[in-house]
Amino acid sequence: MAAAESTGRTAALVPAAGRGERLGPGAPKALRPLGGVPMLVHAVRALAASRTVDLVVVAAPEDTAESVASMLSEQSFPAEVVVVTGGDTRQDSVARALLTLPDDVDVVLVHDAARPLVPEELVTAVVAAVRAGHQAVVPGLAVVDTIKQVDASDAVVATVDRSSLRAVQTPQGFTRSLLQRAHAGADLDEAPATDDAGLIERMGLPVHVIPGHEEAFKVTRPFDVVMAEAILARRRAAGAV
Ligand code: CTP
Ligand code: MG
């Protein structure tokens, strides 16, 4: 496979405009604290820490975009950070962030604010895989539970062969041109894609999976907050943060 020309900058888009309904009542999820620091700040720190990311574009909830911008401007990150207004769906939030990219960006990551503890090594590995010539890259983990398909009345229809399944995470990485084509061509009558690689698959194009990381899990339900706090406490005890 031919290596992508690696002359441009790398940007990370961070969809952060969700409400966090499954987490229960409270502030938008990305702004809820973990170890006293908003999830979004953890996520931006991890992306910037990889040093492969030059620019971070955060898609914030419309009603809090200004306060998010001022909150982030008080932090110092080793990357440029920009805030835009997100949309009604994750796909829309990513599309809006994508539109704001400067011309010199040629590789784009998309990373959920709701995956605040992603190790910087995973960020670096995704960028490296794109720069090595894979146009669409996702981190994935083997599925540990037995997966059953059910019908509308919860009767089991089949047990799915889990050896061929992967639970995919973010950051997902793309050449800018492919991600732009995928979003520009997205059929808005179809259900929005829950990840960006899904749009590439709809185009019939290949998506490459690299090993994911357990700590890149998505904070979705209250249990995940307990897990995230425990991981942070362990990192702090080890002097890693
Ligand atoms: N997201 C977004 N814009 C939306 C919806 C989601 O930018 N309109 C972002 C979220 O902020 C999150 C990521 O997409 O970082 C993954 O979405 P999810 O985990 O579903 O977060 P929420 O939509 O906030 O949670 P919930 O579905 O429980 O409300
Ligand atoms: Mg959601």
Choice from 88, 90, 172 to test ligand 1 binding pocket (greatest atom count within 8 A of CB): 90
pLDDT at 187: 87
pLDDT confidence of 241, banded at 50, 70, 90? confident
DSSP string, 126-140: HHHHHHTT-SEEEEE
Ligand 2 centroid to Cα of residue 48, in Å, is 24
Which helix H or strand E contains 12, and what residues bound it? strand 9-15
Q: Determine if the peptide bond prior to 171 is cis (ω within 30°).
A: yes
CB 10 within 8 A of CB 43: no
Ligand nearest to the backbone CA of 92: 1
What does the alpha-carbon distance between residue 92 and residue 193 come to, in Å, rounded to a whole number? 10
Closest CA to 131 of 106, 98, 111, 102: 106
3.40.109.40, 3.40.1360.10, 3.40.50.450, 3.90.550.10: which CATH number matches 9-237?
3.90.550.10
Q: Which atom of ligand 1 is found nearest the CA of 28?
A: 24
Domain limits of the chain? Answer: 9-237
Mutate to test the pocket of ligand 1, among 19, 21, 39, 42 (most ligand atoms within 8 A of CB): 19
Instruction: Dump pLDDT digits (tens) for 177-228.
Output: 999 999 999 988 899 899 999 999 999 999 999 999 999 999 999 999 999 9
Cα dihedral: 87, 88, 94, 98 (round 10): -30
Q: Which ligand is nearest to the CA of 21?
A: 1
* Ligand 1 atom closest to the CA of 30, numbered from 1: 11
Alpha carbon distance 82, 69 (integer Å) = 7
Output the pTM of the full model: 0.96
- Is the C-beta atom of 20 inside 6 A of ligand 1? yes
| Phi and psi based region of residue 116 (left: phi greater than 0; alpha: psi -120 to 50; beta: remaining) | alpha
Do 84 and 60 form a contact (C-beta atoms < 8 A)?
yes
Which pLDDT does position 3 carry in this prediction? Answer: 55
Give the Cα separation of 134 and 155 in Å (integer).
Answer: 40
The candidate with the shortest Cα–Cα distance to 126, out of 143, 140, 112, is 140
Residue nearest to ligand 1 atom 13, measured at CA: 112
Task: Write out pLDDT tens, residues 29-65.
Answer: 999 999 999 999 999 999 999 999 999 999 999 999 9
CB distance 17 to ligand 1 below 6 Å: yes
- Ligand 1 neighbour 42 (Cβ under 6 A): no
Cβ of 88 less than 6 Å from ligand 1 = yes
Res. 1: pLDDT tops 60: no
